[in-house]
Amino acid sequence: MQKSELISPHGSDTLRILLLDGKEREEELKRAETLPKVVMSSRETGDLIFLGIGGFTPLEGFMGQDDWKGVCQDMKMANGTFWPIPITLSHDEKIAPGTEICLVSGETNEVMGTMTVNESYQIDKDFECKHVFTTADTEHPGVQKVMEQKAWNLGGPVKVLSESYFPKDFAAIYQRPAESRKLFEEKGWKTIAAMQLRNPMHRSHEYLAKIAIEVSDGVYIHQLVGQLKPGDIPADVRVRCIDTLVENYFDKSRVVQGGYPLDMRYAGPREGLLHAVFRQNFGCTHMIIGRDHAGVGDYYGPFDAQEIFHQLPEGSLKCKMLPIDWTFWCYKCGGMCSMKTCPHGKEDRLFLSGTALRKALSEGGDVPAEFSRPEVLAILREYYAGLKDGERVEVKMHAHATGDAKR
């Protein structure tokens, strides 16, 4: 068998796939029904699915206390493997070591997997939040999720039995790492830049993707289809927007779309690193990091996620950052530019952001033609027009979305 020329998975020569199938899955499902049940949050369920499909290679389950502490404090697991954000499961009771449990989705009540509990431990939630999010402010949506966790963390290996509704509901884009790797190999790509998306693609996203295509074999537009914060645009709408953009404005032979089942953590720089870790598992050699990557509000500087990549010890991560400066539409240049290419002043620039686009659309305001392609705007206007009373969430602007933040 010919050796793959793609980048190897993170911390492993092969993908660590924990999802069972066939007879083995059927037998484990029957056994799961006899085990004590632990109900998981949406974030934990998404993490379990990702463990199953190999997205979190080389992890074998939810982290124990030593891994949790090392990852929070030093971005290293107990065995020295680089890892930037803890992957944990919480429960309201301590469970004896060696106990086997059934893992159930709190959203769908479906049996998702089984786990052998190696340890139960309590954590300092402020400690985790201050290290991972750089804040313990409960207004931060990621901090809120940590503070809502139950009293005990459970660590141990898992067997995964389901991918929930993701393969069916997002059949057009949901992908496992083995599938994206196969696609890249079929295309003969060796350098692949991953583009993280949680918003519909506006002109800045399009510009970033095209810059990446210029310097690599292709771009992997990889969007989150798990849960977001209130007011964000749902995945099915974003998929339609990207589809029409790729169809009309890209060389389709240079683009692969994918969807993945995690919830956003909004952890800014640390989440940028996590994005690079699992994009390596999907076969990507580079991770596009632009302005305010995985940020929320004004908790992070606009380029903190780039700075953290520069601080990593050599050898931590094979997937490299593709840093791109602040991008905007310049009326004098007559097109998309960045701080590195445009000589004009702020008065000539239209700063583009998903937050600004959501705010304008949710309030029925005007959206400049330079902000987004007309086909994309038509889909978004249709979505906002269909929202019922009470479904609209006030969108708050922050400095990063207006061009007022300093680099």
Active-site residues, by number, are 198-199
One-letter amino acid identity for 177? P
The rounded distance, in Å, linking the Cα atoms of 142 and 294 is 11
The rounded distance, in Å, linking the Cα atoms of 296 and 400 is 9
The rounded distance, in Å, linking the Cα atoms of 149 and 143 is 10
What spatial distance separates the first Cα and last Cα of the chain, rounded to whole Å? 49
Name the token pair of 367. Answer: 């959206």
Question: Among 315, 164, 269, which Cα is nearest to 227's?
Answer: 164
The rounded distance, in Å, linking the Cα atoms of 43 and 159 is 17
The rounded distance, in Å, linking the Cα atoms of 282 and 277 is 9
One-letter amino acid identity for 19? L
- Which residues, at least 6 apart from 102, have a Cβ–Cβ distance to it below 8 Å? 32, 33, 35, 36, 37, 38, 111, 113, 114
